[in-house]
Amino acid sequence: MNVARLGTVVRTELSHQLRRPLFIILLLITFLSVWGLSSGNVTIESGASQVGGQKAWVTSEFAVSQTLLLLMFLLYTFFISVGAGMGIIADEEARVGPILHTTPLTPREYVWGKFLAVLGAYGVALAALVLFLVFFHHVVPAGENAEYRGPLSWLNYVRPALFFGVPMLVFFAGTAFALGEGTRRPVLVYFLPVMMLFLCAFFLWSWSPGWLDPRVNRVLQALDPAGMRWLSETWVKVDRGVAFYNVERVGLDALFVFSRLGFIAVGLGGVAWSARHVARGLRGAPVRDVRGKTLADIPLATPEGVTREETPLSTLGMRAQSPEALSGLWVVARAELRGLLSQPGLYLFMPIILLQTVTQALSKVGPFDTPLLTSSGFFAVGTMGAASTLACLLLMFYTVESLERERASNFAPIHDASPVRTVSVLLGKALANSLVGVSLLVAAGLAGSLVQLSQGQVALSLWPYVLTWGLLLPTFFAWTCFVLAARAVAGGRFGAYGLALAALCLTGYAAVRGNLHWATNWPLWGAVLWSDMGPFEMDRSVLLLNRVGTLGLAAFFTALAVRLDGRRAADSVSLLERIRPGGLLRGAWRLSPWAVVPAVALLAAAVQVGQGWQGDAAKKRAKEYWQKNLATWLDAPQPSIQDVDLDVELDPKGRSLRTRGTYTLVNRHAKALPSFAFTGGDHWEDVRWTLDGKDVAPEDRSRLYVFKPETPLAPGAVVRVGFEFRGEFPKGMTKNGGKVSEFILPSGVVLTSFEPSFAPVVGFRDDIGVDKDENKYEPRVYPDDFYEGLTEAAYGMGTPFTTRIRVTGPAEYTLNSVGVLESDEVKDGRRVSVWRSDAPVSMFNIVAGRWTVLRGEGTSVFHHPEHVYNVEDMRRGLDASRRYYSEWFHPFPWKELKLSEFPGLATYAQGFATNITFSESIGFLARSTPEANAVLLITAHEAAHQWWGNMLIPGKGPGGAVLSEGTSHYSAMKLMEQLEGPRTRMEIAKRLEEHYAKERYVDGERALVKLDESREGDTTILYNKGGWVFWMLEDLMGRPAMHAGLQAFLQKYVGHEDHPVLQDFTAAMRPFAPDAAAYDAFVQQWFHEVHVPQYRLSNAQVKQEGGQWVATVTVENVGDGRMPVEVAAVKGERFAERKDAKTPDVQSPDYRDARARVVLGAGEKADVTVRADFPPERWVVDPDVRVLQLRREQAVVSL
Amino acid sequence: MLSLRNLVKVYPGPVSALRGVDLEIPRGMFGLLGPNGAGKSTLMKILAGLLEPTSGEVTLDGLDIVRHPEALRPHLGYLPQEFGFYPYLTGEAMLLYLLKLKGVTAPRGLKALVAELLERVNLTFAAKRKVKEYSGGMRQRLGIAQALAGNPKLIIVDEPTAGLDPEERLRFYRLLAEVANERTVLLSTHIVEDVAMLCPRFAVIRQGRVVAITSPTEAKAAIQGTIFEGTASNAELAELQRTRRVTQAVLFEGRNRVRIHSTGSDVPPGFERVTPTLEDAYLLLMKDTREAPATSQPTPGVEAAREVAR
């Protein structure tokens, strides 16, 4: 290799790379990104600022590493891939090869020179990134973010750049270079970083279940080109405290070093391969099949022309007529398709996209992360987001390259002079490329169908696919046409990419900020929800407008592209004329007919959104409600409901209702109430009120109806407030589709007393009119003794009341509410069902649908006729819940327990007294595995809310909700063990533990008694840790004492005006604890503090002594907390494999264990020895899954 | 009739490529001769509807093809100077695709027509080969086949014989001559011999202007008896170039074979009168226009061009 020639190539190419707009744009984006990120928002996982104390520095090596590798992966990999991968392709298109390769320049010098120049250019960019970071972290005034910034240490920047940045750059540059050189296909080059990003973001960086074998985890760490997984799993997920992360270096291990060297080697290897490939290419294609042949046997490449008598050309009878638009379109589309089919990238990327899309759809989980059955509609909707995003990226690359094909192959002069219409050419290309998106969907449909067939439960149906994915066709077509227009405007490949990516990013930004709505959501991101009970009912009209508008945009962009397409190169002088205001106006006027349809359709959609219940007008009214009433009514005392009498007429087809009713209110306060208030719904019309039977006009304070009786309501006094209204609910369309928690639709009705949807809510609602960006409250700070004295209820009325609810609806609907069914009549096609509470309730609801019912022992499951897969398990769960929870906790006071299904426009279940509601995707479509009966878990949890949440309403304040959700999880675990044996309970417990470990915020975790659900990560503590802690408490106290304590606790608080929180609970349980000291220690550790053990085994040995085996092991608690835990030497598998969740658990006869018990505090270790009369195969910590711990899978060691 | 009126093309820079071209091109073969950079290809691209002129008019049988380039395309056969094809298609598929794009029909169907056209350009043997495997000459012949397809009213061929061997060149000439009977064929070239062989009339373009419109016979007749040929040493050649009008000087076996133009009697010793060629006429014209640049046609300024554009 001649260094001088190599240097010449490097210098020339480097100079070119550094001046490219591509490079300048990268620097600009980097600068802006670093500026945006320098505000202290990027912190390592351990550095939740809510904890107080020292803040995690954005300048630490850990934080810089994360920032740097994220920025580089998001930005640099794409730019360097294009820079490196397109080098040889651009030379080929410029046809410089024949001249270059006839100079003394060797292929190696040429290839390495180009590669080193690209690498050098992006090395400069990396240096710029480091300098930008230093500048914004240390030079720009930090202001309020000063506490997030540590002192300048250059090593904090240089080391991440070297260890994470350089290997990434070399890898991407080298592989993209090899890909571009080897295939000469730009699309492959562009898609490489995109696919790597998806692979990393959705798999390598995020998929890390607790059960994952550490060896596999290490392999995945080594396979991550960014090093993010290694950083996260090795350093960040293991909490070492903010101080550690702020000052310590990122310690490298052999795995990381070798994997980085591996990536560098792969990158450089790609370049070396390219050099050989170029050299081979210059020698011409290898000739095969010549063995045994002589030259005479091999035909000439160009045989002698055969002279023959030729007839004049005129005898051929050729005629030409401009092809019609459609026939031209067909010709172009067919040729394009042929071209597309010859693209190897299509066969590479389609399966990857398919895999990504299908995996994402199939990995969607139900409540408590239970798996779901695959059904056509839910699968189709589940794939929409990923399919539209990835397909749009693919379409962008293929469309631009398709448009560039004529120019790149130099076919443009002939092609552009042909009479085929420009519109045919552009639309033909758009159509052919859109078919890529269609084929992606067809393939995804096949994959989904196969999964459905393999599950063998949900019947296969094609029309949900056709209906749902049919909605995406305008998106694909409009996007492709937009790309056509972008290229026509920009005039070239990179300009087109820039415009198209900018449009995509802008849409993504709007989506993330929550600013997308039906008039702007052209890709339908997050807008479409599926329900087997009636698809797209909520927003049907605005969805139609959106699709018409999107198709109209396709036509508009096509017209724009046709107008601007550079088939005839515009003259610069006349171009100046055209871009003058007058010229632009004339151009716009000519295009205006094409803008009519999209403008009208999208404007109409915008109007519908604006007038809808999530529109600006509604938002403004809600804000007015908040502004006008907050100060006066937030904590104003209100009378309590004593009785509810409602008459609700439902019109599901018209999405409306009419309510007449009466609340009997009583003043339970010690003082007279001069006034009281009700919150009304924004959808209410023709509202009338009465007070003790007389018409009144309360003060309407933006839907807070304030009553001022002539005489203040004395303590204990009763007043009857009557009301009447009608309305459409929800009013109008949503803003951008998505979930709706209450609704009246033909497919079903679900209404609750939490919202003023079908009945007034007593008092002021502090969540109405609150915008997270404008007037969100700070979490309320409660004093430590807040629970002393009377604590108000966390939700619902403080004291239970009686109800009589008369529901009228179409005859084919079943109309369910709380209590018992007093009467059910059908007259004139209308059903009238009257429900009366047979025991007081604290909340009420209405749910209606066209169902089939399965009845149990005092229980019923009302379900969509096709959703029969799990109803038997649900009935079983309800029956068992009634029976066992009544035995264990408190007698069930009501006669019936119903469970009703509603359309999956929201994913929740609510346990109103006697009337539980499940969204269709909860329970009804849950998929049980042989290890865990998901249906039973969900049903048992929701049924438990009859006790924990209805009979006992927790108090308002920190830790209160644990008495609702944690106790329900605990109840469900108990019930599952009762019904299905210990294995099911153990599997469920492990799953909850795994979710707790994965979703908790290490430094941000608060004790159960401090949990107020205001932070991310609180939910998993509330449910999973909460459930576990009650389970461990039962282990500590013993089952009889626990039951006795719980019964006493419920006895005390059911129906009581004081509502308990955890402090009340632990106080109530203490007298029942056999060992008060142990109980206190447990309560302190698990309720008042945050500790989690993590056990590690080492030095495991076994030796035979006589007829016995002596096994030893060292157990260490590398986590936190002190718990007695069993350690077992084990032989064989404990449970036999089960075919499905219904097969009874049987302990394997070959299973044996010998156990010892240790109590280890943080950092403590102990040697354990057991004698066994069997040869043990492994040591296991906590074989019965009784102690909550981290990384349970690592607390096993083979002997 | 193809008419060009005061055609101007200014590229960003600004640099002018055409400075007011006026031409009337009748039916039949018409040559466009000029040195490299004279503006021939720019003119060809404008005529083919691939480039918008800064100002001026072009009409084909009264049809304004500057304003309506799309109206010309069904009647156009175009062979550009540089072109390519989709590399992944076979020659046959490529030609078929182009025939469909042009809306060509034939009594025996398009596939038969493709076979016929490939036969005419001697590519039958390579019909099933992918275009990326074609040599330069083969690609040129495929280009010729597509340009002739569909009986176009106007055929524009820009340097068509580049890359063709003599045999193929003659075959192409024959094809062009045949089709030129019924339509206008505009042949742009800098190879004088092509014009001499094919074009009854031709225009010479230089520095963006038409400097002559003539026929090979007229051009040669105009210099009949004025061309002399002889040999000279390098020193003698230098003297001749200073004192005479040297049209050509070629070094052959160590001596310069020189042709000079002379109307008088002072012919250098050893020089003999020879039959003039079209090349002599062309070179003399170039020499004359270089020595006395034409100023009779004012060059429209950019402002004037903008007015025209308005």
- Res. A43: pLDDT tops 70: no
Please say whether the dihedral angle defined by the alpha carbons of residues A460, A464, A468 and A469, taken in this order, is positive or negative: positive
CA atoms within 13 A on the CB side of A437: 34
Q: What CA–CA distance (Å, rounded) separates B148 from B125?
A: 20
Residues of B within 8 A of A302 (CB-CB) are 125-126, 135, 138
Asked if residue A887 lies in contact with residue A513, where contact means CB atoms within 8 angstroms, the answer is: no
Share of chain A above pLDDT 70, in %: 95
pLDDT (tens digit, 9 = 90+) per residue, B71-119? 888 889 999 988 999 888 899 999 999 999 988 999 999 999 999 999 8
Tell me: the pLDDT tens digits for A824-878? Answer: 999 999 999 999 999 999 999 999 999 999 999 999 999 999 999 899 999 999 9
Candidates B65, B66, B101: best to mutate against A (most CBs of A within 10 A) is B101
Residue B74 is nearest to which of A342, A415, A419, comparing CB atoms? A419
A931 phi and psi, to 5 degrees?
A: -80, -30
* Chain A environment of B105 (Cβ under 8 Å): 318-321
CB contact under 8 A, B305 and A573: yes
Taking the Cβ of residue A313 and every Cβ of chain B, the question of whether any pair is shorter than 8 Å is answered with: yes
Mutation target among A307, A404, A414, A576 for the B interface, most CBs of B within 10 A: A414
- What whole-number distance in Å separates Cα of residue B130 and Cα of residue B150? 23
Q: Domain A1095-1198: which CATH class?
A: mainly beta
Q: Using 50, 70 and 90 to split pLDDT, how confident is the model at A302?
A: low
Choice between B174 and A1048, residue whose per-residue pLDDT is larger:
A1048
Contact A936, A945 (CB under 8 A): no
Give bridge partners of residue A365 from the DSSP assignment.
A371
Contact A302 B306 (CB under 8 A): no
* Residues 386-425, chain A, touching B (beta carbon < 8 A): 405, 409-411, 413-422
- Is the model's pLDDT at A1122 over the cut of 60? yes
Judge whether B155 and A417 are in contact, CB under 8 Å.
no
Is the distance from CB of A111 to CB of A271 less than 8 angstroms?
A: yes
Residue A470 half-sphere exposure toward CB, CA atoms < 13 A = 11
A946-959 average pLDDT score: 94
CB contact under 8 A, B103 and A323: yes
Among A888, A819, A813, which Cα is nearest to A851's? A813
For the beta carbon of residue B110, count every other beta carbon within 10 angstroms: 16
Q: Would you place residue B296 in the very low, low, confident or very high pLDDT band (cuts 50, 70, 90)?
A: very low
- Classify each residue of A171-199 as buried b or exposed e, where b means 16 or more C-beta atoms within 10 Å of its C-beta: bbbbbbbbbbbbbbbbbbbbbbbbbbebb
Extract the tokens encoding A62. Answer: 């850990």
Considering the domain A951-1090, what is its CATH architecture? Orthogonal Bundle (1.10)
Q: For residue B249, is pLDDT > 80?
A: yes
Q: Which of these ranges, A184-188, A826-830, A928-932, A1083-1087, has the smallest mean pLDDT?
A: A928-932
Distance CA B82, CA B65 (A): 22
Instruction: Give the pLDDT confidence score for residue A687 in this predicted structure.
Output: 97
- The residues, ordered by sequence, that sit 6+ positions from B284 with a Cβ below 8 Å of its Cβ are B223, B245, B247, B261
B-chain residues within 8 Å CB-CB of A571? 9-10, 51-54, 309
> Pick from A316, A321, A410: which is nearest to B83 by CB?
A410
The CA distance from A1009 to A886, in Å, is: 27
CA dist A1029 → A924, A944, A1022, A1158 (Å)? 29, 17, 10, 19
Q: Which residues belong to CATH 1.10.390.10 in chain A?
A: 951-1090
Say which residue, A736 or A304, is predicted with more confidence.
A736
28-57 of B, contacting A, C-beta below 8 A: 45, 48-55
Number of alpha carbons in the 13 Å side-chain half-sphere of residue A759: 28
Per-residue model confidence (pLDDT) at position A916: 95
pLDDT at B302 over 50: no
Contact indicator for B2, B46 with CB cutoff of 8 Å: no
Q: How far is B74 from chain A (nearest CA, A)?
A: 5
Element (H, E) at A113: helix A107-134
A417 with B49: Cβ contact below 8 A: yes
pLDDT single digits (tens) A576-613 = 877 788 888 888 899 999 999 999 999 999 999 999 99
Sequence letter at residue A900: S
Give the tens place of pLDDT for each residue, A1015-1074: 878 999 999 999 999 999 999 999 999 999 999 999 999 988 899 999 999 999 999 999
CA A1048 to each of CA A1055, A1057, A1067: distance values in angstroms, whole numbers, following the listed order: 13, 16, 11
Q: Tell me how far apart the alpha carbons of residues A453 and A444 are, in angstroms, rounded to a whole number.
A: 14
Output the DSSP codes for A759-786.
S-EES--TTTT--TTTTPPPPPPPPTTT
Cis peptide before B14 (omega within 30 of 0): yes
Average pLDDT over residues A550-560: 94
The answer, yes or no, to whether residue A186 has pLDDT greater than 60, is yes
Q: Which residues contact A48 (CB under 8 A, 6 or more apart)?
A: A1001, A1003, A1004, A1015
**What integer pLDDT is reported at residue A20 of this predicted model?**
82
Residue type, A377: G
| Distance from C-alpha of A1195 to C-alpha of A1181, rounded to nearest angstrom | 6
- Other Cβ atoms less than 10 A from the Cβ of A203: the count is 17
Give the per-residue pLDDT at A373.
Answer: 83
Q: What's this model's pTM, rounded to 2 decimal places?
A: 0.80
* Least confident interval from B6-10, B160-164, B197-201: B160-164
Lowest-confidence pick of A507-516, A728-737, A800-809: A507-516
pLDDT bucket at A210, cuts 50 / 70 / 90: low
B302: chain A residues, CB-CB within 8 Å: 573
Range list of H helices, A579-671: 581-611, 616-633
Q: Tell me the residue type at A559.
A: A
Here the ipTM equals 0.85
Best residue of A418, A577, A579, A580 to probe chain B, by most B CBs closer than 10 Å: A418
User: Which of left, alpha, beta for A748 (phi over 0: left; psi -120 to 50: alpha)?
Assistant: left
Per-residue confidence (pLDDT) for residue A305, from 0 to 100: 58
Q: What is the pLDDT of residue B303?
A: 44
pLDDT of residue B291: 66
> What pLDDT score does A773 carry?
73
Does A312 sit within 8 Å of B151, measured CB to CB? no
A287 touching B (Cβ < 8 Å): no
Minimum-distance CB partner of A335 among B97, B143, B171: B97
Residues of chain A with CATH 2.60.40.1730: 618-950
- Round to whole Å and give the CA distance between B310 and B292: 34
Determine the residue type at A240: R
CA atoms within 13 A on the CB side of B306: 10
pLDDT beyond 60 at A330: yes
pLDDT, chain A, mean: 89
Higher pLDDT, residue A1169 or A145: A1169
Q: Do B54 and A574 touch (CB under 8 A)?
A: yes
Check A569 against B167: CB less than 8 A apart: no
Domain A618-950 fold is: Immunoglobulin-like (2.60.40)
A727 phi/psi in degrees, rounded to 5 = 175, 160
The neighbour count for residue A1101, using CB atoms within 10 Å, is: 12
Q: How confident is the model at residue B299 (pLDDT cuts 50, 70, 90)?
A: very low
Domain B2-214 sits in CATH at 3.40.50.300
Segments in A952-1038 forming alpha helices (H): 965-980, 982-999, 1018-1020, 1026-1037
pLDDT in tens, A967-1023: 999 999 999 999 988 888 998 999 899 889 888 877 678 899 999 888 878 999 999
- Which tokens sit at B148? 């002739």
Out of A319, A411, A421, closest to residue B86 by CB: A411
A18-27 residue pLDDT tens = 988 778 888 9
Asked whether the beta carbons of residue B74 and residue A322 sit closer than 8 angstroms, the reply is yes
Residue A23 C-alpha, separation from nearest chain B C-alpha, in angstroms: 26
In chain B, where does DSSP find H-type helix? 40-47, 69-72, 91-102, 110-120, 136-148, 166-179, 192-198, 216-222, 234-243, 278-291, 302-309
Q: Is the peptide bond before A730 cis (omega within 30 degrees of 0)?
A: yes
Name the least confident of A415-419, A623-627, A1145-1149, B41-45: A1145-1149
For the stretch B118-144, pLDDT in tens is: 988 889 999 999 898 888 888 888 998
Q: Where does residue B3 rank: exposed (0-12), middle (13-18), buried (19+ CB within 10 A)?
A: middle
The Cα A495–Cα B48 span in angstroms is 27
**For chain B, what is the mean pLDDT?**
85
Q: Output the 3-class SS for A475-530.
A: HHHHHHHHHHHHHHHHCCHHHHHHHHHHHHHHHHHHHHCCCCCCCCCCCCCCCCCC
Rg (CA), chain A: 35
Helices and strands: H and E segment counts in chain B? 11, 15
**CA-based angle A706:A711:A714, to the nearest 5?**
95
* pLDDT score of A142: 61
The answer to whether the Cβ–Cβ distance between B113 and A570 falls below 8 Å is no
* pLDDT value at residue A860: 96
